[in-house]
Structure 1
Amino acid sequence: MMFVSRRLLGRISLVSLAVLAACSTPPPPPPPTPPPAVVPTIMPVPPENAAEGMAIPTKDEDGKYLTANRGVTSNTALWHVRMALNVAALNCDKYGATARNQYNQILAVHSQVLKAANAAVDRNYKYAFGNAAIGSREQLNTVVYNFFALPPVIKHFCPVAVTVGAKVLSTPSSQLLQMAPAWLDELEKPFQEFYAAYEDYLRRLAEWQSRFGATVRVIIAPNSMPPPPKAPGEAPPSGWRPSSMGASPVNDAAAAPASSSATVQPLPGATGADVPSSATVQPLPPSSSSAISGPPAPARTLPDNSAPPRLEVQPLPTTGE
């Protein structure tokens, strides 16, 4: 009996020692703290799915982006409005046939004032550019058409064009020239807003590249696009020519100043309104009774006021809608 008790006590002692040993073992370390969630850094993209690396216009003194519509005469503004609505008629069919139908109605309702505006713009170009008038006007027309057809802006431009087209149709022809500059600003607004958004995208892209672009190649837009061609100012009315002193335009009916040193002599068979631009004005020799000392006035070149070719405006074919 005594032998069994000692053996039992020995086993209990061994179990106790094992329990004590287990209690003295340190607990395992806690699992490592998970890293903070990774916030993706997304590189800015151009607005309206525009192309990367686009050049945008510079701003003028008024803070607006410089376009071919800035600082134009009323006749030129009306013609640019017509071109903008023509672009809408050709590019806005996916939003309905309204723009196309409006454009054709405008050509019919306001045909006379549009023809007069076109003729006035032709005179402006002939006066400013002479024999290069047609090429200069075609160059600006191309810039204006491409401006209003900028793909990223079309979806914002089309509803504005429809709104302006409705205004043009509801306005008497006699008031079109007065309203044209405001309509042109309204048609240009979506493009001004797009350029502002693109400029902001370039700013955010430059900031992103400075932070995360060490291992990323980013192409930022090149220099700003060159200034667009500028439309000429209003040509003087028909029937006047510069004075021989070159100070200011005078009417043909006005008498020449007594101090004039040269008389403008038109070419044989030509009137003052259709003297070719290549004609050289020759001063007449002074008479013995009214000779004026000093060298004669330099020869001047008269503007070509002959009627230039007209731009034919054709209505667009109507759709079946």
Structure 2
Amino acid sequence: MFVSRRLSGRISLVSLAVLAACSTPPPPPPPTPPPVVVPTVRPVPPDNAAEGMSIPTKDEDGKYLTANRGVTSNTALWHVRMALNVAALNCDKYGATARNQYNQLLAVHGPVLKAANAAVDRNYKVAYGNAAIGSRERLNTVVYNFFALPPVIKHFCPVAVAVGAKMLSTPSSQLLLMAPEWLEELEKPFQEFYAAYEDYLRRLAEWQSRFGATVTVIVSPTPLPPPPKPPGEAPPPGWQPSYSSALEANAPPPGDAAGTATSSSSTTVQSLPGDMGANVPSSATVQPLPPSSTGAIVGPPAPARTLPDNSAPPRLEVQPLPTTGE
């Protein structure tokens, strides 16, 4: 009995040792994963435009200043023609409509377009004299480059086709009236592009301040200089000023600087209405007054006035002193 107990005890110890040798410790907990990296996307210019591109400043109306601002009707029509010319040369990838329309416009509205061109030439000659041709060529270059801005072509071509269709369906006599509206319509895609580019510059500046500490980015390029301003409308050849009031119509001629009255030897006096003109015959004449030495209008002589004799010194009357009663 005693031997069996000792044997069983030894077996138990051996079993515990075997079990301890076969057991393995639990694996360590997995390491904490790193935080998720959120990629920061650097803003890019709209419509694949170049970085650091200069855009115009805004005018007092909040629109970007271009060479199409504040132009006359003749200049507006000529700028519309230049815009559609740019479309005819640059919109072939979107079809031949713009080119075909432009050729039709030259045939349908040729006389009016030539008259507008002559008017613009006259404006430049009056404003710039001998430098008129160079001044106009500089403005034409600015306008052509404006409408040929590559990032905007795909937005500009559909608008140019729409304006070309409107122009073809409009009588020639109405072109000058509609030209400013069409010019604003043609400029709209460029105004929208400039606004999008300005927003891109704002977002780029924000990205630079947060994530671009080691990157140098130009977030505020130099704005474009103001475009040349077209001259105002000059009067056509043979123009004469029209009187705006009866006062201007009856004013003395400009050569009479002294304002003297120029009249014939006799002036007919119109009879007055009613009894006021009963004593004045209708054939009465008024003789002109002789001109004065100073050139001023001389009226009738003033009636003679008797002036006091101031040759003697003034006399002072002496007043007696009042008595005091003493």
Residue by residue over 1:40-67, the C-alpha shift from the partner in whole angstroms, topping out at 9 and shown as x without a partner, is 1011010100001100000001100000
Residue by residue over 1:18-58, the C-alpha shift from the partner in whole angstroms, topping out at 9 and shown as x without a partner, is 757999x9744421221232111011010100001100000
Counterpart CA distance in 1 for 2:35 and 2:12 is 51
Structure 1 position 6 matched with structure 2 position 6: yes
Please show how residues 8-157 of structure 1 align to structure 2 within 5 Å: 8-16=8-16, 27-157=26-156
- 1:236 Cα deviation after fit: 2.3
Q: 2:319 maps to which residue?
A: none
Specify the code of the residue in structure 1 equivalent to 2:225.
P
The structure having more radius of gyration, on CA atoms, is: 2
Please show how residues 240-319 of structure 1 align to structure 2 within 5 Å: 240=239, 255-259=253-257
- Structure 1 unaligned residues grouped into runs of 5+: 243-249, 262-287, 293-321
Specify the code of the residue in structure 2 equivalent to 1:7.
L
Specify the code of the residue in structure 2 equivalent to 1:6.
R
Q: Is the 8 A contact 1:69 1:184 kept in 2?
A: yes
Residue by residue over 1:88-143, the C-alpha shift from the partner in whole angstroms, topping out at 9 and shown as x without a partner, is 00000111110000000000000111011001000110011110000000000000
TM-score (norm 2): 0.72
- Structure 2 unaligned residues grouped into runs of 5+: 242-247, 260-291, 297-326
Counterpart CA distance in 1 for 2:216 and 2:40 is 15
**Percent of residue pairs identical:** 77
Q: RMSD across aligned C-alpha pairs, in angstroms?
A: 2.8
Go from structure 1 to structure 2 and tell me whether the alpha carbon gap of 1:240 and 1:167 turns closer, same or farther (over 3 Å shift).
Answer: closer
Counterpart CA distance in 1 for 2:3 and 2:230 is 125
Specify the code of the residue in structure 1 equivalent to 2:68.
N
* Helix, strand or coil at the partner of 1:75: helix
Go from structure 1 to structure 2 and tell me whether the alpha carbon gap of 1:239 and 1:256 turns closer, same or farther (over 3 Å shift).
Answer: farther
Please show how residues 126-205 of structure 1 align to structure 2 within 5 Å: 126-205=125-204
Go from structure 1 to structure 2 and tell me whether the alpha carbon gap of 1:27 and 1:54 turns closer, same or farther (over 3 Å shift).
Answer: same
Counterpart CA distance in 2 for 1:78 and 1:87 is 14
Counterpart CA distance in 2 for 1:197 and 1:209 is 18
Q: 1:247 maps to which residue?
A: none
- 1:82 Cα deviation after fit: 0.1
Specify the code of the residue in structure 1 equivalent to 2:130.
N
Counterpart CA distance in 2 for 1:103 and 1:290 is 67
Q: Is the 8 A contact 2:202 2:219 kept in 1?
A: no
Q: How many residues align?
A: 256
- 1:291 Cα deviation after fit: 7.5
Residue by residue over 1:126-183, the C-alpha shift from the partner in whole angstroms, topping out at 9 and shown as x without a partner, is 0111100000000000000000000000000000000000000000000000000000
